[in-house]
Amino acid sequence: MTGPPNEETHPMTDHASASRRSVGMLLPEETFRRVFGQVDLQRLESHPALRLLADRPLRIDAQDAALLSEVEILVTGWGSPVLDAALLDEMPALRAIAHSAGTVRTLVTDEVYRRGIAVSSSASVNAIPVAEFTVALIVLGAKRAFWAAQRLREGAAEIDLEGSWPAVGIRSRTVGIIGASSVGRLVIERLRAFDLDVVLADPTLTPAQARELGVALVPLPELMERSDIISLHAPLLPSTSRMIDRELLRRMRPGTTFVNTARGELVDQDALADRLDDGDVTALLDVAEEEPLPLGSRLRTHPHAFLTPHIAGSVGTELGRLSAHAVDEVISFATTGTFAEEISASTFSLRA
């Protein structure tokens, strides 16, 4: 008669679990419910290289302290806490962070990189709906669709589109792209389907690199002067804060449409409102320096500004891309030791 199996003979020993990477999620419950569906949770639970510590977000408290100490791969998202030294001390086994959203700038600190922790984000897939929304705004802006809809709402019996805006329509127009970011590149790619010219301003690119994208590289002041439609896609960095200033806005010629689906802080908001007061340019804005935009903001009620409440990024059915990508990255790190889309310490300072 044999006794109970010991650690050396039991088929499910700690040795088997030790070969798997422990995964924990640290994000608000609301974000977890919105972004992570059963399919992707099942992928985390069933993958042989992973050990999901809990099928819920972990809490930073005594109850979950033991689980936090085991986390090797951390999944984060919108609203996750800042990963400072104190919090990282709670996760001594942490080796990698897979962020199920775009920017990691409000999440990752220098301490993360000092400890050799790998970082990934889902910015590449979040860029897809932003680019789609941006192209839609460019086309609708070229057609003066928002202006026409407003006139109808105000009771106009007829709309003289061409009389009011002689340069109307998308064909043969010049679109200026500011920033060859992930979104900027996708917008350029999608604009190839249209009969128009695209120019690009980006100080990090060479003319040869711009030609590879199929666009002409021009200085930013020149782009502001020659573009019919300007679309902003620069990263928000200390060096780019309010980069679109009063002088650049004054360079926009009559009839220009200015599109911002990037960050409101990239633009001098007061200077933009002043330029709109001239009555000959239009702004299509999905972002603002302060969100939600204060009720007293001039832009909120300006007749030449058309606003949406930061909806260009992933919403609704698009959120599944974020969770799927984050899980892909978790599996990549667990099986290969690297992320497919790792954000290195050197590139972190250049990203939005």
29 an active-site residue?
no
310 an active-site residue?
yes
Choosing from 263, 304, 321, 325, the catalytic residue is: 263
Give CA–CA dist 177/174, Å, rounded: 10
Task: Evaluate whether 111 touches 84 at the Cβ level (below 8 Å).
Answer: yes
The contacts found for 16-21 with CB under 8 angstroms, 24 or more apart, are: 17/51, 19/49, 20/48, 20/49, 20/50, 20/51, 20/334, 21/49, 21/50, 21/51, 21/72, 21/73, 21/95, 21/330, 21/333, 21/334
Give CA–CA dist 334/344, Å, rounded: 18
Dihedral, CA of residue 83, residue 85, residue 91 and residue 93, to nearest 10: 110
Give CA–CA dist 130/93, Å, rounded: 35
Residue type, 17: S
Choosing from 105, 298, 310, 351, the catalytic residue is: 310
Sign of CA dihedral 93, 97, 100, 105: positive
Give CA–CA dist 257/309, Å, rounded: 19
Give CA–CA dist 219/198, Å, rounded: 13
291 an active-site residue?
yes
Q: Which residues are catalytic?
A: 263, 291, 310
